[in-house]
Every structure is written in C-alpha cells, then in structure tokens.
Chain A
Amino acid sequence: MTDAPTDDNPTDSPPATHRPLVVLDKVNKHFGDLHVLKDIDLTIGEGEVVVVIGPSGSGKSTLCRTINRLETFETGTIEIDGVALPDEGKELARLRADVGMVFQSFNLFAHKTIRENLTLGPIKVRGLGVDKANERATQLLERVGITEQADKYPAQLSGGQQQRVAIARALAMDPKVMLFDEPTSALDPEMINEVLDVMTGLAKDGMTMVVVTHEMGFARRAANRVVFMSGGQIVEESTPQEFFTNPRSDRAKDFLSKILTH
C-alpha cells in the first residue's frame, strides 16, 4: 500500500495518555473444563488501536466476544467507558450498541438489503427516524466505498464488499469502540487490502479498535500496541515495531517464526 515511512506511526503517542475506554480486570472464562481466558487484564485507551495476535485456539475470538458479552465469563470485570457490563437484558443490549463488532464471516442480515442492514440498528436501537437513518447509511456506504449497491442483498456482493458493508453497519451505531475478529481471513487475497484500507482509515480518524488479525502490515501501519495471546493468557504486550523485530517471550518467538516463514 502507499504508506509513508514510520514517522507518522501512531505509536508516537504513548498509550498511557489515552483515557481508559475498555478495562478488563482479572477476567476468567471456561468452556467446560477448558480454561479459555486466564486472568486477563487489559486496558484500551480512547483512540487506541490494539492488535491481538496468537496461535489458533489461544482465545483471541473468545476475548473479543467476551468484551461485548456475546460470551459470558465467570470472574473479573469488564468496563466499557466506566460502566461494568450487566448480565443479559435491555441494559446490556444498550451497552452492546456502543461496541461495534465485525466478524470473520461478515454476518450481514441475509434477508435485508444493504441499506436495511445499515438502518436497522439506528432505527430500532437508537430510535432514529427513517430519513435520518437512510441519509447516514448513504454517507457510511460512501465512506467504505460501496456505492450503487444499496438496494442489493448481501449475497449479491463480493466478500470484500460484504465485509466493508459490515464495517459500515457497525459504524452506523456510532460505537465507542470497534472489535474486529479476523476480518480478512475469509477473504480472497485480492480483496484483503480493500478491507484493510477502510480499517486503516478508521484508525487514522481516531476510532478505538481491537483487531484480531495476522496481517502484520496492518499491525505495523495502524496499531499502537500488539497483544500476544497464548493458551488463554496475555503473554506479551508491546509496540508493533518492538514485537515483530524483538519479541521477548519464547512463545512469541516461536509463533512469529512460524507465521513469518510459511
């Protein structure tokens, strides 16, 4: 991609100065006997972009899904903008609307048009008028580079287009933070960049993002911090530069040697 050298790297602003937006404190989760999240402590500041990386089965998806309570957890707390996540119910639904989520498999609503995918949440959850919601949908579709497709159904779009619509759908809720769970790993190679470009744009605009991805180019370009997970634990946290060139833990070294040489 046409990226300037690292002098405009967002890591210039240290994470410590960000106001804490998502705070996980000693979060533990089990799937039956399997301890998937072990004492996870993680603070994500406003405007920060955190890339989560790690071997398959290390709990990255579970972490993402736990942050907006698509999964329950047993002990610990998760606060979004100072408010602890409640159990199921209306209150939780409202808080969830503040946390955008983009899935590996897009999950656009198959029976609704692209436009309806973008307006459903704002109308039903935020109580926006239909005209306002439509206007905003048009803006957002333009922002992710999808024009003239608003009245099609998701199945009529390419994977890359669908994922960009999914990002727009999340943005339509004006979320405080966006979670991305391997947003490009279901895409054909030629479509990966169009999605990463949109995400890079979001990062530049100051969106707070948690991104599970193995796209190192994106991590170097857009992330403030890389969090390396293994076996349900956060093993290492550092800047992308530091992590990719000089990993400290053996597990990170081992993991990087595998993904760099394949």
Chain B
Amino acid sequence: MDAITQNLDLFWNGFLRSLTICLWGGVGSLVLGTFIATCRVAPVAPLRTFGTAWVTVIRNCPLSVLLFMFAFGLPEIGINAEYYYFGLAALIIYTSAFVCEGLRAGINSVSAGQAEAARAIGLTFTQTLTQIVLPQAFRTSIPPVGSVIIAMFKNSAVVGAFGVGLDLYSVGESLTSAQGFAALPVLTGVAIGYLMITLPAGVGLGVLERKVAIAR
C-alpha cells in the first residue's frame, strides 16, 4: 500500500483530472447527443439522414480508432491541438451516438398524441420538442442514458491511455512502468479513483430517477 500512500497527491491530481474529463465529457455528450436525437426526429429529411448516418458510423466504430483519427489524422490535415482536447472531442463524439439512441428510446415512449396536442395549440416543432416531448422523454431515458454516461466515465481511461497525461490512468501507468511500483496496489488505487467517480454517479442517477417518478 506504500505505492498509494507515498503518491497520494499524484493520485489526487490524477483523480481531479479524470473528474474534469468526465464532467466535460458528460456535459458535451449530453448536449451533442440531444442535438443528434433532435435531428433524428426532425420533420426535415436531410437532418434525419444526417442523424442516422452519425449514429450508424460512430456507434459502429471502436473508440480507440476514433481517438487515433483525432490525434493523428486531424494534424495531418492541419488541425492541431493538445491531445487533451482531441481526446475529449473523440470521447464526446463517440458517446453522443449512444446518448442519442437512449434519448430516442425515451422520445418513442412518449405517445404521439402528446406531440399532436402540442402542435394543435400552435406550438412550433422546437417548442413541442423542448416543452412537451423531451421533458417526458428524459424521464424514461434516465436509466439508459445514465448507463451510457457511466460507461463514458470508464472510457475516459482509454483517452488517458492515449497520452492525455496526468489523469488517473496515466498516473497508474507512470507509477508502474516508469517508477517500478508493483502493479496490483497501484492499479487498485486507480480503480478506487474511478469508483469514486462512478459510484456517486450511480447513486445520483437513482435519486434523480426517484425524484422525477414522484413528480407525476
């Protein structure tokens, strides 16, 4: 356990870095995923095609391949940034496809009559979506989208492995391979770090689910 106690501040910083990636990744993929889901149900055919294509391509592409494309492909066509941003962007885009599908399941669970009644009182498409359909869809989408977001928290380790640096995964990596600490205790520390993010997230989701269930 020396490996952990001696490097506690390293672990702590790694934890904070991972938490930041998770938070931005979560916000980004929820926003992007909602946008893509909106496209998929829009009354405009090209938007629907775009949304379907996005989900089909992204969802069937391994995250690591997407990361490679961002990190090494984009600089080839003249787009340069820190690995951190490339990694975060890839993570958000990858997760958005799954968020979209989770949301769409929720949207489909809202009866068509709700949207018709909204249109019948004169709400526009956007108002119908934001006032009537999405609020109800979010309720049923909390469990599936929650799972997607928690999976994303864990996927942030893949981004770390890619050289974002200083996140939990990278800390583990550098302690074991560069500084020769035993792998088991170090990786246990890394796992605890991730659990400190995912377990409260799971509890939060449960609370959220119960809260919206009552308000009905």
Contact = CB atoms under 8 A, between A and B. Distances in A.
A107 B136 CA distance: 13
Contacts of B118: 109
A128 interface: no
B188 interface: no
B207 interface: no
Interface residues of A, number: 30
Interface in B97-151: 111, 113-114, 116-125, 127, 131-132, 135-136, 139
Interface residues of B, number: 22
B43 interface: yes
A214 interface: no
A94 B119 CA distance: 10
Contact of A120 (B124, B131, B136, B215): B131
Interface of B is mostly: helix
Nearest to A69: B119
A90 interface: yes
A70 B132 CA distance: 17
Nearest to B116: A70
Contacts of B131: 120, 124
Contacts of B124: 90, 93
Interface of A: 68, 70, 88, 90, 93-94, 96-101, 103, 105, 107-111, 120-121, 124-125, 153, 155, 166, 169-170, 172-173
Interface of B: 43, 111, 113-114, 116-125, 127, 131-132, 135-136, 139, 215-216
Given A93-B123, A98-B122, 17 more contacts: A70-B116, A93-B119, A93-B122, A93-B124, A94-B122, A96-B120, A97-B121, A97-B122, A107-B113, A107-B117, A111-B139, A111-B215, A124-B127, A124-B131, A153-B216, A166-B117, A169-B117
